[in-house]
Chain A
């Protein structure tokens, strides 16, 4: 299947620089300290934050004077076409670590020394860019929990696919790849602090040639900035509606 037609449209009708429909919502539940919902196209994720609380794990007591962010990602059995056997497996554990790492970079750790923040992420629907969506949702949940952060952390994927075979074999970068695009090309997930212009996590699935990397990375960063605009607007909106300023509850 041609992932990018000669007419310049992707299979779902987007151009190369067009993100999927994005929707997000803060504050879904009362029990957790913070919660958020994030949708990027057909990828939908729920995130909830518990903490900061006293650190229990051995890891955190080694004491760097910083708080520890833990993350657990689980998937609903029917989240993608093929049913999953277990909600958590090797892959979700890897995703969890990646998400935790990205969040760690955003949280002002010195503020919460000796404490730990637990983030639980549930993947409801998966259609490419799951890791990125998890990071975005977790970031919103952190904000909702009122945890102090250095910056937002936003994540986006990009893929490199060959342009229609007979025009050229040159590849073309696509932002926010859906499932078929990432399995037909590659999937580079980039998480960044949009205001500080810092990349905090980077992950690549499927081989990607070095010569394509810059274009793909730029595309993903572009996507991060776009997402930041959307997420920030939603946060502003939330604050306005609740007549609140962000603070720890």
Chain B
């Protein structure tokens, strides 16, 4: 038993340098690879994963059977394989290897399916089976060899299972492979054939991807929309010679016909414009580019093109047909002479597809009973997908998931197949699901294995714990957090020492005590990397028992903490610090407001309040020093949605208030993080998990500086210190929001802060630009960030409370982990923002509301506006009035035609005001009205519900008044003023240190920004009555 034969695998490999290597590998064949079919007498199965159903569900194969699949089935039909009715599948090892080689995401999904015991999948190590091994014949391609070996595996199963009366069926979509299988006496079907034979699962056919090519003869007559892609070999050799460029295609969010690619060797991104030049490449694909002639170089399109426009254009164009394909694109892209020209290119091939599954809605065909429909992805950067389904009635009005199959040359849109329904459009849960899926946030319930790792309840502190930890239960510790926060991960204390100094302690939940490395719980937490906060739902990184109970530092219960304790002088200079594992008992869970009240109330003199005052006192010193070092004070729009949990409707939107206590807590968290960073770096110079924030390249500031110039303001962006100083100086009479707008714009110029492993970079690169700190890390929120857990473990080793494990000290693994966490963090942030936008839209439903807004960016045909009241960005189209008239004319024509009258166009339609866009000086002009960045406007926003499937916000200008364009205000005459005054007071954005919010986050350390979302979750209804009414009354009274 065991190895029976030794073979050699010999092949040649080309290295990156171009050397050719001969590789010789041993290959052992065994006689102990079992079939794993239940009831087999010949094999010594330890556990049989295959268990063929006695009554065959298929009407093609009458006997009980197992299915053997080939590589293409695994690659393209993974949705079909994941369906619950598909069971008892043998996956030859050959297939698994090929899948792994060709597509890692599919491989991961396949592995997940294999691991489900209910699916009865079995990986058959055919390559090492003594009678299934196939040697490659001279001249045979490795693909052919693999196909032969898969067929041989199927044949072996067939003959091996004969005594049991079980059949083996080979599934393959390759016609010639089926043919060869017939010759070997193997039953073989295509997936479509087999799926349609399973009469009991009717929905199955929709899941089958259409990979079978259409008949060749037809091709020659069909109109081709796209150039063919070049062969990979050609692309490779041309890349090498530098005739082509390679890079990742990033589609523009505002223009669905424009993408940009950053390539090596060029400072500027290369533009790819228009459908023909994009040539079927999708967002995130790795593409090969051919640069266009310098005469074709253009500036990035200043227009906003949404897909609605495109569709309209297409509809219009369809009757005219003919070869005017490019025309639409060109009219839409309308290239002008621009001062700044970027290189442009066309896609000649796609090196790697990054296709995934897409959420979206179906746009049913106008023809009744049709099976072909269009699918509108939620992500704007993805084109419409053509879809075939027979159950369109059940899909209309639902959010669905669709997977991409192919994009043939003769199809304008890519082809895909339906995967599953998420739920009704507009339903909160469904919308959340969409947000989570689109942002790749793992959000399923915790598995059994994970829950098993949790400590037994009731949880008690043992004597051993008490021996190992410092007992701080006698110290007056309290936590200060947003209201309704259930995952409290930090608490503070402060004591005056005899020598006049202060002892300050920050106590962080000791999550690493509960999450041991290598356990299922650890792996799940690592996979999630962060908690995700949506407006009405929180997706925890660790199970609820830990996040809201055992790890949460709640009041008046004993909890484990990881503490850092400093001795600080009155000026906030650190005399000494130490880390230790402790047991604490918080004296109270204070909210920011409560803590503020305690500090402000002179009658309160208890020790807790006194310590809060001391903390506040030192925090101010710390902050002043930091700002002095050049830390940036940036702003972002943060609002809070008050959601009624019962009806799920938004009751109120309130700008976040800023309290002194917030910055107090923030300061000490920063201090704790910095101390942790320095300590870990000192002990683990190679594998400390740190966080850096690179200084933005000057080019990032260009749009900002241009905008500033148009407002005659100057900013010095040469360093963070000068930037911070010049930001402080900018004020504008009559525009109280001006400075905040400036800070918001500055935030958007920033780079992302990143986690990294200290061994991979040089010391100067550790610098944190936003916080002006040489080293920084995250230590203070281990309940909702995985990076903090790593830092805790490292610190645990340093203080001899914990031991290392291999991955912790492995620079390569740590780097991979850091990248994973960075990705999840970014996605979680986007998800949170997307959720906010959805909530804002739902708040506008059935309403027309007027808002003050500020111009953020200018485009040729649209303005990007920032609406502080709801913390959202909106687009104001400069040509909506033209469209409206066109629509009006159209409907009138139709109306008249219905009555039998021919509509005559009005002789002299009054001319519509047109906008003039000046890119150099950055303003839009219409008549005598000039709009520049930062200008205040008033807009009217409604939700366009004409299409139930696709709701969007429509904005119209109210002020400044432009005849023929702006719309009259809906406010009554005297109201606006009070409203405005009060708003400008209320909605002053929360200026704060280096916010983590906003596209370019600055410093995730800043806990306020990161913790704030917590209170959004659910529990807000109780206190929603707060701001609106009382303030209004006050203002009115004051007026009287």
A interface with B by C-beta (< 8 Å): 2, 5-7, 9, 11-15, 18, 20-21, 41-42, 81-82, 125, 127, 160, 166, 168-171, 178, 180, 207-212
A11: B residues at CB distance < 8 A: 25
Sample of 28 A–B contacts (CB below 8 Å)? A2-B100, A5-B125, A9-B30, A9-B125, A13-B28, A13-B30, A13-B127, A18-B2, A18-B3, A18-B28, A20-B26, A42-B8, A42-B24, A81-B22, A81-B23, A127-B24, A166-B108, A166-B111, A166-B115, A168-B518, A178-B26, A207-B809, A209-B805, A209-B806, A209-B809, A210-B804, A211-B804, A211-B805
Task: Answer whether A41 and B26 are a contact pair too, CB < 8 Å, given A13-B128, A18-B3, A170-B518.
Answer: yes
Chain A residues within an 8 Å CB radius of B19: 82
By beta carbon, the residue of chain A nearest B807 is: A169
- Docked Cα-Cα span, A81 to B127, in Å, equals 24
Instruction: Give the distance in Å from the alpha carbon of A209 to the alpha carbon of B518 in the complex.
Output: 14
From B26, B93, B523, A42 is in contact (CB under 8 Å) with B26
How far, in angstroms, from A61 to B21 measured CA to CA in the complex?
47
Give the number of residues in B that approach A within 8 Å (Cβ atoms). Answer: 37
Among residues of A, the one whose C-beta sits closest to the C-beta of B2 is A18
> Least Cβ distance of B382 to chain A in Å?
28
Give the Cβ gap from B457 to chain A, nearest Cβ, in Å: 26
The answer to whether B809 and A81 have CB atoms under 8 Å apart is: no
CB of B810 within 8 A of chain A? yes
Q: What's the nearest-Cβ distance from chain A to residue B804, in Å?
A: 7
Alpha-carbon distance between A20 and B7 when the two chains are bound, in angstroms = 12
A209 touches B28 (CB 8 A): no
Residues of A within 8 A of B805 (CB): 209, 211
Q: Contacts A21-B6, A209-B804 known; A12 to B125 CB distance under 8 Å? A: no
Q: Are the CB atoms of A13 and B27 closer together than 8 Å?
A: yes
Apart from A11-B25, A169-B807: 18 A-B pairs, beta carbons within 8 A: A5-B125, A7-B93, A9-B125, A12-B26, A13-B28, A13-B29, A18-B2, A18-B3, A21-B6, A21-B26, A81-B22, A166-B112, A166-B115, A169-B518, A178-B26, A207-B810, A209-B805, A210-B804
Distance (whole angstroms) from the CB of B239 to the closest CB of chain A: 25
Interface hits, B98-138 → A, CB 8 Å = 100, 108, 111-112, 114-115, 123, 125, 127-128
Q: How far is the CA of A21 from the CA of B29 in the complex (A)?
A: 12
Q: Assess whether B447 is interfacial by the CB under 8 Å rule.
A: no
Interface residues in B24-58 by Cβ distance below 8 A to A read 24-30
Q: Does B848 contact A (CB under 8 A)?
A: no
A7→B123 contact, CB < 8 A? yes
- Residue B162 lies at the interface, judged by CB distance under 8 Å to chain A: no
In the complex, whether B803 has a CB less than 8 A from a CB of chain A is yes
Closest to B809 in A: A209
Verify A13–B3 contact, CB threshold 8 A: yes
- Which of the listed residues A7, A20, A125, A208 has the most CB atoms from chain B within 10 Å of its own CB? A7
Per-position 1/0 for B588-621, Cβ under 8 A of A: 0000000000000000000000000000000000
CB distance from B649 to the nearest CB of A (A): 42
Complex Cα–Cα for A212 and B805 (A): 9
A18 to B4, CA, bound (A): 12
Given contacts A18-B3, A166-B111, contact A12 B806 (CB under 8 A): no
Contacts of A160 in B (CB 8 A): 806
**CA distance in complex: A9, B803 (Å):** 31
Q: Is the CB of B23 within 8 A of A12?
A: no
Residue-by-residue, is B374-386 near A (CB-CB < 8 Å gives 1, otherwise 0)?
A: 0000000000000
Cα distance A159–B959 when bound, in Å? 73
Closest chain-A Cβ to B790's Cβ sits at a distance in Å of 14
Name the residue on A nearest B517 (C-beta).
Answer: A169
Find the B residue at minimum CB distance from A82. B21
Nearest 4 Cβ contacts at the A-B interface: A209-B806, A13-B128, A13-B28, A81-B21
Once the chains are docked, how many angstroms separate the CA of A210 from the CA of B797? 14
Given contacts A14-B3, A18-B2, whether A211 and B803 have CB atoms under 8 Å apart is: yes
Chain B contacts for A14, CB-based, 8 A: 3, 28
- Distance between Cα atoms of A160 and B810 in the complex (Å): 14
CB distance from A10 to the nearest CB of B (A): 9
B 506-546 to A, binary, CB cutoff 8 A, 1 in contact else 0: 00000000000110000100000000000000000000000
How many A-B pairs have beta carbons closer than 8 Å: the answer is 80
- Minimum CB–CB distance for A156 against chain B, Å: 16
- When distances are taken between beta carbons in the complex, the residues of chain B under 8 Å from A210 are 804
Q: CA of A209 to CA of B804 in the docked complex: distance in angstroms?
A: 8
* CA distance in complex: A96, B117 (Å): 52
Contact check: which of B28, B114, B517 meets A12 at CB < 8 Å? B28
Measured CB to CB, the closest approach of chain A to B444, in angstroms, equals 15
- Once A12-B27, A169-B523 are accepted as A-B contacts, the answer to whether A211 and B111 lie under 8 Å apart by CB is no
Residues of A within 8 A of B523 (CB): 168-169
Chain B hits for A2, CB < 8 A: 100
Q: How far is the CB of B854 from chain A (nearest CB, A)?
A: 49
A169 to B6, CA, bound (A): 31
**Known contacts A12-B26, A13-B28, A41-B26, A6 near B123 by CB under 8 Å:** yes
**Across the two chains, which residue of chain A brings its CB closest to B13?**
A81
CA of A208 to CA of B807, assembled, Å: 10
In the complex, are the beta carbons of A7 and B810 less than 8 A apart? Answer: no
In the assembled complex, the Cα of A160 lies from the Cα of B807 at a distance in Å of 12
Q: Given the complex of chains A and B, what is the CA–CA distance between A18 and B2 in angstroms?
A: 9
CA distance A207 to B806 in the complex (A): 9
Distance of A164 from chain B, by nearest CB (Å): 8
Q: Which one of A6, A209, A212 has the greatest number of beta carbons of chain B within 10 Å?
A: A209
* Chain A hits for B518, CB < 8 A: 168-170
Kindly provide the distance from the CB of B449 to the nearest chain A CB, expressed in whole angstroms.
10
Docked Cα-Cα span, A121 to B80, in Å, equals 58
CA distance A41 to B809 in the complex (A): 32
Inter-chain contact A7/B125, CB cutoff 8 Å: yes
- Say whether A9 contacts B21, CB under 8 Å: no
Collect the chain A residues with CB atoms within 8 Å of residue B6's CB. 21
Residue of B nearest to A166 (CB): B111
Alpha-carbon distance A110/B807, docked complex (angstroms): 47
Q: How far is the CB of B523 from chain A (nearest CB, A)?
A: 7
- CB contact under 8 A between A212 and B806, given known A5-B125, A168-B518: yes
Complex Cα–Cα for A171 and B806 (A): 9
Across the interface, name the chain A residue whose C-beta is closest to B122.
A7
Once bound together, how far apart are the Cα atoms of A166 and B114, in whole Å?
A: 12
Q: Point out the residues of chain B lying under 8 angstroms from A20, CB to CB.
A: 26
B589 to chain A, nearest CB (A): 36
- A6: chain B residues at CB < 8 Å are 111, 114, 123
Docked pose: A210 CA to B803 CA in angstroms: 10
Interface residues of B in 492-506 (CB under 8 A from A): none
Residues of A within 8 A of B112 (CB): 166
Shortest CB distance A216–B (Å): 11
Alpha-carbon gap, A86 to B405, bound state (A): 53
Chain B residues near A12 (CB-CB < 8 A)? 25-28
A82 to chain B: closest CB distance in Å? 6
- Nearest A residue to B26, CB-CB: A12
CB distance from B851 to the nearest CB of A (A): 49
Contact pattern, B 79-109, Cβ under 8 Å of A = 1, otherwise 0 = 0000000000000010000001000000010
> In the complex, A171 Cα to B517 Cα: how many Å?
12
Highest count of chain B CB atoms <10 Å: which of A5, A13, A81? A13
Q: Roughly how many angstroms separate A210 CA and B115 CA in the complex, as a whole number? A: 31
- B803 to chain A: which residues have CB within 8 Å? 211
Q: In the assembled complex, how far is the CB of residue B16 from the closest CB belonging to chain A, in whole angstroms?
A: 12
CB neighbours (8 Å) of A209 from chain B are 804-806, 809
A7 to B93, CA, bound (A): 10
Query: Closest residue of chain A to B129, judged by CB?
Result: A13
- Cβ contacts under 8 Å, A208 to chain B: 806
The residue on B at minimum CB distance from A15 is B2
- In this complex, what residue of A is CB-closest to B127? A13
Q: In the assembly, what is the distance between CA of A20 and CA of B3, in Å?
A: 10
**Min CB–CB distance B1040 → chain A (angstroms):** 70
Residues of B within 8 A of A212 (CB): 806
Closest to B128 in A: A13
Q: Which of A160, A169, A178, A207 has the most CB of B within 10 A?
A: A169
The winner among B19, B27, B114, B128 for most chain A CB atoms within 10 A is: B128
